[in-house]
Amino acid sequence: MNSKSVSGFSKLNKSQKIEWLSQNYLVESDDEQSTFETYWLPDQNVQKVIDGFSENTISNFIMPYGLAPNFMIDGKIFCVPMVIEESSVVAAASSAAKYWLDRGGFKTTILGTTKVGQVHFKWFGKHALIESIFPDIQAYLLQNVGPLIENMSKRGGGITKIELINFTDDEPGLYQIRVNFETCDSMGANFINSVLENFASGLEEYFVDSGLIPDELRDVDIIMSILSNYTPDCLVRSEVSCKIEDLGTFANGMMAEQLAEKFRTAVKIAHIDPYRATTHNKGIFNGIDSVILATGNDFRATEAAGHAFAARDGQYRSLSYCEIKDGIFRFWLDVPLAIGTVGGLTSLHPLAKKSLDVLGNPSAEQLMRIIASVGLAQNFAAIRSLVTTGIQQGHMKMHLMNILNHLGASDSECSDAVVFFEDKTVSFSGVRDFLSSIR
């Protein structure tokens, strides 16, 4: 066994884990307080809550928490919290929010709120038989699951559809029970998975006890029960529009008509070419993920759903659309967002809770509207830069501070550098040369 392996690691306390790590893995040793300890929270109760989210924790990984004000969404103005480490994302969102504030803001539509779960199983009887008794199976499963869904039903949610899907052409004996859920303001992952596991054991019982299945076919083999992160019917649209002439004039003196046409073409390219579509959608998720993180939602689930949705016709394409018709510029985003504003981390993480407070404690649907609008704003800002000045000008301006910090610049050196690079291209070597020239 590798000498660096360990058993009983989870039983060590934090300091012991750090000690073990530095003895076995760290190349640079911390002389004073360990870097990991520097980021422990002073309030031990909060630290305990944060530690409870994961396992084997030794520290907290900090990220910037920023605000993008001036988001007018369906007539109401929001200041949106964003957690992201990439320079210029918050600045871009804020700039696009302000731009559209003067042009009617973002208008949103909830296109669906359905979440999905699946019980995968094998059974080797005749398909016609299972199909004919499926209504009876459904009734049995629903009766069985009753107490589990009581609370959700009271809140207006629950199970909205149950289907049997036959995959036996792809794999002998393979079926799926696909279940649609309404989970109201919760993301509902635990609720869905509990219902599905209950369905799985109910299915096994039904095959043994119903008396409708011949003795030799009573064995149903449950493979797995789990929600699906593909949620094409938990979908929100956010859009902006205005008369072309109201778009105004852009950097480099670009006029509204030219901007509109280049912009439309840039979006079209992301519908034609998956290489561009991936970058284009990544920009959208710069906005989406940062609000998902700030509100304690699951960014992996959101990303997985978004990218699967982007490939729903067999080719990966843009999640946003642009149209120029009758003198109107219209730009919109359709994105699946299976999120929650109650349960999970949303109320446990102190800053997630605060973010929801900042947003006026929205329902899950309201949060879908906000997040989609931030995604669209981000996409708007990125394309506007790409088709006018190029992305690097703004990006490197924001990145200047990172380079200065990296090179250990003082406050006054930073101020001088900002003035010096006002009309110049920022690069690592350029900043290094500038600092040596003034030091």
* Partners of residue 163 on adjacent β-strands: 178
How much of the chain is helix, strand and coil, in % rounded to 5? Answer: 50, 20, 30
Write out the H or E segment, with its range, that includes residue 164: strand 158-166
- Ramachandran quadrant class, 67 (left: phi over 0; alpha: psi -120 to 50; beta: rest): beta
User: Minimum distance between the CB of residue 198 and ligand MEV, rounded to whole angstroms?
Assistant: 42
Binding span for ligand MEV by CB under 6 A among 6-14, 152-160, 227-235, 276-284 = 276-284
- Secondary structure (3-state) at 35: helix
C-beta of 271 vs 354, nearer to ligand MEV = 271
Considering 282, 307, 353, 397, which one is annotated as catalytic?
282
Pick from 157, 188, 202, 283: which binds ligand MEV (CB under 6 A)? 283
Neighbours of 286 (CB within 10 A): 23
Q: Does 381 bind ligand MEV (CB under 6 A)?
A: no
Total binding residues toward ligand MEV, as defined by CB under 6 A: 9
Q: Identity (one letter) of the amino acid at 186? A: S
User: Minimum distance between the CB of residue 271 and ligand MEV, rounded to whole angstroms?
Assistant: 13
Tokens encoding 26: 């760290």
346 burial level (CB within 10 Å; 0-12, 13-18, 19+): buried
Tokens encoding 126: 């005749």
Catalytic site residue 395?
Answer: yes
Pick from 34, 138, 225, 286: which binds ligand MEV (CB under 6 A)? 286
Considering 86, 102, 131, 357, which one is annotated as catalytic?
86
Q: Does 279 bind ligand MEV (CB under 6 A)?
A: yes
User: Minimum distance between the CB of residue 356 and ligand MEV, rounded to whole angstroms?
Assistant: 26
Catalytic site residue 282?
Answer: yes
Residue pair 115/422 in contact (Cβ under 8 Å)? The answer is no
Catalytic site residue 209?
Answer: no
* Partners of residue 197 on adjacent β-strands: none
Q: Does 152 bind ligand MEV (CB under 6 A)?
A: no
Q: What span, in angstroms and rounded, lies between the C-alpha atoms of 79 and 98?
A: 11
DSSP code for 30: P
Q: What span, in angstroms and rounded, lies between the C-alpha atoms of 385 and 394?
A: 8
DSSP code for 224: E
C-beta of 93 vs 159, nearer to ligand MEV = 93
User: Minimum distance between the CB of residue 389 and ligand MEV, rounded to whole angstroms?
Assistant: 12
Residue pair 168/222 in contact (Cβ under 8 Å)? The answer is no
User: Minimum distance between the CB of residue 380 and ligand MEV, rounded to whole angstroms?
Assistant: 10
Binding span for ligand MEV by CB under 6 A among 41-49, 280-288, 337-345, 422-430 = 280-288
Pick from 391, 398, 401, 407: which binds ligand MEV (CB under 6 A)? 391
Residue pair 224/120 in contact (Cβ under 8 Å)? The answer is yes
Binding mask 332-371 for ligand MEV (x = CB under 6 A): ----------------------------------------
C-beta of 111 vs 386, nearer to ligand MEV = 386
Catalytic site residue 86?
Answer: yes
Any residues with CB less than 8 A from the CB of 49 and at least 6 apart, and which? 348, 349, 350
Q: What span, in angstroms and rounded, lies between the C-alpha atoms of 124 and 32?
A: 66
CA contacts within 13 A on the Cβ side of 242: 17
User: Minimum distance between the CB of residue 183 and ligand MEV, rounded to whole angstroms?
Assistant: 31
C-beta of 118 vs 286, nearer to ligand MEV = 286
C-beta of 94 vs 186, nearer to ligand MEV = 94
Q: Does 95 bind ligand MEV (CB under 6 A)?
A: no
C-beta of 160 vs 279, nearer to ligand MEV = 279
Q: What span, in angstroms and rounded, lies between the C-alpha atoms of 359 and 77?
A: 10
Tokens encoding 437: 């020239």
Q: What span, in angstroms and rounded, lies between the C-alpha atoms of 27 and 250?
A: 51
C-beta of 90 vs 196, nearer to ligand MEV = 90
Q: What span, in angstroms and rounded, lies between the C-alpha atoms of 251 and 423?
A: 14
Pick from 237, 280, 369, 399: which binds ligand MEV (CB under 6 A)? 280
Within residues 392-431, the interface with ligand MEV by CB under 6 A covers none
Binding mask 68-87 for ligand MEV (x = CB under 6 A): ------------------x-
Pick from 103, 178, 268, 282: which binds ligand MEV (CB under 6 A)? 282
User: Minimum distance between the CB of residue 286 and ligand MEV, rounded to whole angstroms?
Assistant: 5
For the annotated catalytic residues, the residue numbers are: 86, 282, 298, 395
Which residues of the shown chain bind ligand MEV in the complex (CB under 6 A)?
Answer: 86, 279-280, 282-283, 286, 382, 386, 391
